[in-house]
A and B are shown apart, each in its own frame.
Chain A
């Protein structure tokens, strides 16, 4: 398997623009997580899905952020409108719930810069 795939790897946009980040989890995994990493706050969980259903979105910072998982092989994180403080690295991770293991596999991340 190719692992968790994220696109784009880098995104530079101007304040006010819409940004869409994409994630393809590992085939067969039933959990998908979106994280944000900044120097100030470190890693933070934004939202996670189980079987395509959002379970906990309490980490989503504002209504400007939304996430969807239309099927088991694809998820998007959208920011509209984007602001400079949204600049961060956004990671997607997936996992498969099995007895005694809950390893999360991280994608390479998308580095977002909002000017």
Chain B
């Protein structure tokens, strides 16, 4: 059974700091997704990582995938308040039309 674990589940940080959210999964997969959810809102796709070593960047966020370590990271550079949200990673269960989701990391960035 594929399990996806995010770490940490809650993160409070100051603006301007850097931090990393980790997403570990238990079974071989080379497709991993990051989503953002603002309070009371829907989920927005951030990154789609489809191969070992994939790295994608958008603004202050950068995501990477190491399929051998079964690990993805979401790195936040010089955090700003607008990045406060819950971030989810999800792993593709080998084309069974099903994603397995992490529990989410609630990120609060204080001015």
Mutual binders A and B: no
